Amino acid sequence: MASCPNFSELEQRKYIKFRTILKIPLKSIHDELATICGEDTLSYSTVRRWVSLFREGRTSVQDAPLPGAQKLATNNDKLSEVKEYVESFLHSSVEEVANYVGISTGSAHTILKADLELRKVQVRWVPHSLTFPQKAARLQMAKENLEIYEGSDPRRLLEIVTGDETWIQFKPPIRKQDGKVCLKKGGVPQLFVYPTPVPRRYGVAEVEKHYLKRRPKTVTRGLKILQDNARPHKSLAVRQKIKDMGMHEVPHPPYSPEIAPLNFWLCRKLKDNLSGREFEDRLSLGRAIYRYLEVIPKDEYRKTFENWIKMLNSVVAYKGDYFEHS
């Protein structure tokens, strides 16, 4: 069995649980984990403790709450609300989740981290540890995109349209790395940036208007659209509109916000530029955004898609697992 250093402690506990149910001896379970995880294997005493707990009837693989800790709002209704909200707004902070659902930030944090097993990667909530099927899906889609775009005519990258959302506050006390603001405009390929949340149909109208001037015969037909797998992007209405416009979706790996072009470049660059500044209203914020976007050289937009190719290669190099990048 191949070594897997990214097998998390929680995954090891789950493994111990299933092997204990099958009445596998303690030493065999520890030896199997050592074969899989190498240096990251839980200690023999830790494995023994969890085997004993599961034999006594314990079902949860989570750590027991501290004595006297406040009972957390983790009933099914609250958990479902948190899950639905985060899937719709992947940039959301713990405070925003708590305010929306109506629970404490501590409860929201516990649901996100312990119950849903999520963590932030490049300002989005993603599974704390990717499962083998999730890694395989990331690896496969990365290879498919590389086969099409790597080493091909550079003009093929110019056929790609991308977009995303992020929050930008009027009067931020500090830079917040979460958010939602629809993005319009940019160089070539086009990156469409809006200063505040707008109806999605308006964003589509702007895309069509832009290409009507530049491609009067075909407009958007034949273009490729690259966006992550956030729920709003994958709704039936949005996907049908993309199809009606004659565009084709570029496959994006699941649980992969860190390799979406706007996440690893423009959103972060924009927030760095606006950090610490105060705006009186939506109009002044919008003007600041557009002024900044106008001064970004078109070559920087082109390089973004070149870096996207590098990101895909990193996914392949790490065999589908997450990786750190600056």
**Which residues have C-beta within 8 Å of that of residue 189, sequence separation ≥ 6?**
157, 158, 159, 160, 161, 162, 301, 302, 305
Q: Edge to edge, what strands does the sheet with 160-162 contain? A: 160-162, 224-226, 248-249
pLDDT band, very low/low/confident/very high, at 319 (cuts 50, 70, 90)? very high
Of 66, 65, 14, the C-alpha closest to 42 is 14
Looking at residue 75, what is its pLDDT?
A: 66
45 vs 92 pLDDT, higher one: 45
pLDDT at 156 over 70: yes
pLDDT of residue 89: 67
pLDDT in tens, 97-150: 888 888 888 888 888 878 877 766 544 555 557 888 888 999 999 999 999 988
Q: What is the rounded distance in angstroms from the CA atom of residue 105 to the CA atom of residue 100?
A: 11
- pLDDT recorded at residue 139: 93
Pick the more confident residue, 308 or 187: 308
pLDDT at 47: 93
Positive or negative: CA dihedral 88, 183, 191, 135:
negative
Lowest mean pLDDT: which of 70-79, 133-142, 157-166, 168-177?
168-177
* Cis? peptide before 251, omega within 30° of 0: no
**pLDDT tier, 315 (very low <50, low <70, confident <90, very high otherwise):** very high
d(CA 116, CA 278): 35
Query: Buried (b) or exposed (e) across 282-302, using 16+ Cβ within 10 A?
Result: eeebbebbeeebeebeeeebb
Q: Which 8-state DSSP code applies to residue 183?
A: B
Region of 255 on the Ramachandran plot (φ > 0 left; ψ -120 to 50 alpha; else beta): left
CATH no., domain 133-317: 3.30.420.10
- Find the mean pLDDT for residues 179-186: 30
> What is the average pLDDT across 224-242?
83
Arithmetic mean of pLDDT over the chain: 77
Fold designation for 9-55: Arc Repressor Mutant, subunit A (1.10.10)
The amino acid at 274: L
Say yes or no: do domains 9-55 and 133-317 share a fold.
no
pLDDT of residue 3: 42
Rounded to whole angstroms, how far apart are CA atoms 11 and 191? 39
Per-domain residue ranges for the chain? Answer: 9-55, 76-116, 133-317
Q: Is the pLDDT of residue 67 over 70?
A: no
Confidence at residue 207, expressed as pLDDT on a 0 to 100 scale: 79
Distance CA(92)–CA(85), nearest Å, equals 8
